[in-house]
Amino acid sequence: MSSIIAPSILAADFGNLQRDCEMVNNSKADWFHLDIMDGVFVPNISYGMPIINTINKIATKTLDVHLMIVDPDRYIETFKKIGADILTVHFEACTHLHRTIQNIKANGMKAGVALNPHTSAHLLSDVLNDIDLVLVMSVNPGFGGQSFIENTYQKIKDLKKMREESRSDFIIEIDGGVNSTNAPKLIEVGADALVAGSFVFKSENPTKTIEDLKNC
Ligand code: DX5
Ligand code: ZN
């Protein structure tokens, strides 16, 4: 089975958002990756509800929403209403992570948990059977176009082993600095889904770049 490719709209041309979303629709990509930043959890602000709502009207594929915000519980219902299929919260932003995960699922979405580069995979051991996805940050969250952190490979291996031992079935997704050089090794060590922003949208032929990642 080939890996899931999720272009990150953060790197799209917002003046041509419809064009870029249609490119993703017509490409080999599987998901739209949507990054929500609040300027508090991360030192940057991205975009919010009206943009997601707009993307939802155009997109014909799964909306994979990555919340880089504090206290995400406040907006779970809203994200469902505007089209999120997968809602991922940060481990570091949730005091009552188990409750947050249950709340996401009760609202009819798949629940993901993201780990910052310094956060050990083992901290998820008590919720492995509750989650649908683990998002491994391979850069410090907040910005596109950063360099990939090599420690990511070990974290993927840890998660794969934990998944086998716990007989759980969450998706392992990698986010940050993904390109065609690191993608084959990421898949080899156990990544199921790859997010790619700059590498796709800053390339000469984004459709072809997505296809190349898909064939890795
Ligand atoms: C970073 C975001 C990423 C970002 C990836 O905080 O979570 O999804 O868009 O961008 P690239 O692929 O350019 O590193
Ligand atoms: Zn992201």
Question: CA-to-CA distance for 102 and 192, rounded, in angstroms?
Answer: 23
Active site residue 132: no
Ligand 1 atom 4: residue of nearest CA? 144
pLDDT digits over 5-50, tens only? Answer: 999 999 999 999 999 999 999 999 999 999 999 999 999 999 999 9
Q: Strand order in 62-68's β-sheet? A: 4-7, 193-196, 171-175, 133-137, 110-115, 86-90, 62-68, 31-37
Active site residue 175: yes
Whether the Cβ atoms of residue 63 and residue 34 lie closer than 8 Å to each other: yes
Using only the alpha carbons of the chain, give its radius of gyration. 16
Whether the pLDDT of residue 86 is over 90: the answer is yes
Whether the Cβ atoms of residue 60 and residue 18 lie closer than 8 Å to each other: no
Residue 16, class by beta-carbon neighbours within 10 Å (0-12 exposed, 13-18 middle, 19+ buried)? Answer: exposed
Ligand 2 mean position, distance from CA 173 (Å)? 10
| Cβ of 177 below 6 Å from ligand 1 | yes
pTM of the model: 0.98
Ligand 1 mean position, distance from CA 144 (Å)? 4
Ligand 2 mean position, distance from CA 175 (Å)? 6
Angle between helices 206-214 and 17-25 (to 10 degrees): 30
CA distances from 78 to 12, 55, 72, 123, 134 (A): 23, 15, 11, 28, 22
pLDDT digits over 93-138, tens only? Answer: 999 999 999 999 999 999 999 999 999 999 999 999 999 999 999 9
Question: CA-to-CA distance for 17 and 213, rounded, in angstroms?
Answer: 22
Nearest to 93 by CA among 75, 117, 118, 67: 67
- CB 34: neighbour CB atoms within 10 A? 26
CA distances from 84 to 55, 81, 135 (A): 10, 7, 16
| Cβ of 195 below 6 Å from ligand 1 | yes
Ligand 1 atom 10: residue of nearest CA? 144
Question: CA-to-CA distance for 36 and 109, rounded, in angstroms?
Answer: 17
| Cβ of 194 below 6 Å from ligand 1 | no
pLDDT digits over 143-202, tens only? Answer: 999 999 999 999 999 999 999 999 999 999 999 999 999 999 999 999 999 999 999 999
| Cβ of 144 below 6 Å from ligand 1 | yes
| Cβ of 198 below 6 Å from ligand 1 | yes
